[in-house]
Structure 1
Amino acid sequence: MLEHDSPAAVVQRQLDAYNARDVDALLATYAPDARQYEYPATLLASGHDEFRPRFAARFQEPDLHARLLQRVVMGKLVMDHEVVTRNFPEGKGSLELVAIYEVVDGRIRSQSVQLGAKRLDAPAA
């Protein structure tokens, strides 16, 4: 396996594409039949046709940004602890999350996400 295809490198490309709001680059990191779950097993989306509109909608948020706090790699699994800045209907804020990626043959095969509490930013004075 080339270093470029290591599970950590694939997940880093996914994070970089997410922060660049580049849906095509993002989808290129996922297997065509990949699945996204809310941890532990609630299916959110399956395959690129379902991923694309979900990401395209999210990428409309002007303040969207994921900040990696910690990454753990064990074989084909990559676990990221992140804080994601979002634009919620109630205002700008953030979510803490843990994402678990399974990377097979240089592509993300599955992603499970556990969301933490939503935190809204203090209103501007």
Structure 2
Amino acid sequence: MSDLHSPEEVVEAQLQAYNRKDLDAWLATYAEDARQYEHPATLLAKGHDEIRARALLRFQEPNLHARLIQRSVMGNVVIDHELISRTFADGTGTLETVAIYEVQAGKIKCASFISGRKSLD
């Protein structure tokens, strides 16, 4: 794996595409057979089709934005602590999230999410 596609760079590209709401660029950071989980082992989506479908509605939220609070990198694992602005069924607000990304061959192979505190505006 070249330095141009280090795990940290892949995850950063994913974050930037997420904040631009560029679904195609965001999905391009994921491996074709990637999996997303609610930590530790509840499967949310597998493969590009399911991951795209899961993200499609979220990317339509007008205030969607992830603010990186802290990032840790150990080998091919990147852990982001984020505060995500969202539009929930009960109003706008933020959700504290930890995302654990496993990067292989320059793509996110596995993403696992821990949802924390939700606050309404």
Alignment TM-score, normalising by the size of structure 2: 0.98
Shift of 1:55: 1.1
Partner of 1:43: 43
What are the equivalent positions in structure 2 for 1:1-125 lying under 5 Å apart? 1-121=1-121
**% same residue:** 61
Structure 1 segments (4+ residues) deviating >2 Å: none
Task: Summarize deviations over 1:23-79 as a string: whole Å, max 9, x none.
Answer: 110111000000000000000000001011111110110000000000000000000
Counterparts of 2:51 and 2:4, CA distance in 1: 23
Q: Structure 2: any 5+ residue segments left out of the alignment?
A: none
Q: Structure 1: any 5+ residue segments left out of the alignment?
A: none
Aligned residue pairs total 121
Letter in structure 1 aligned against 2:106: G
RMSD: 0.6
Shift of 1:2: 2.2
SS at match of 1:50: helix
Shift of 1:3: 2.1
SS at match of 1:25: helix
Counterparts of 1:97 and 1:31, CA distance in 2: 22
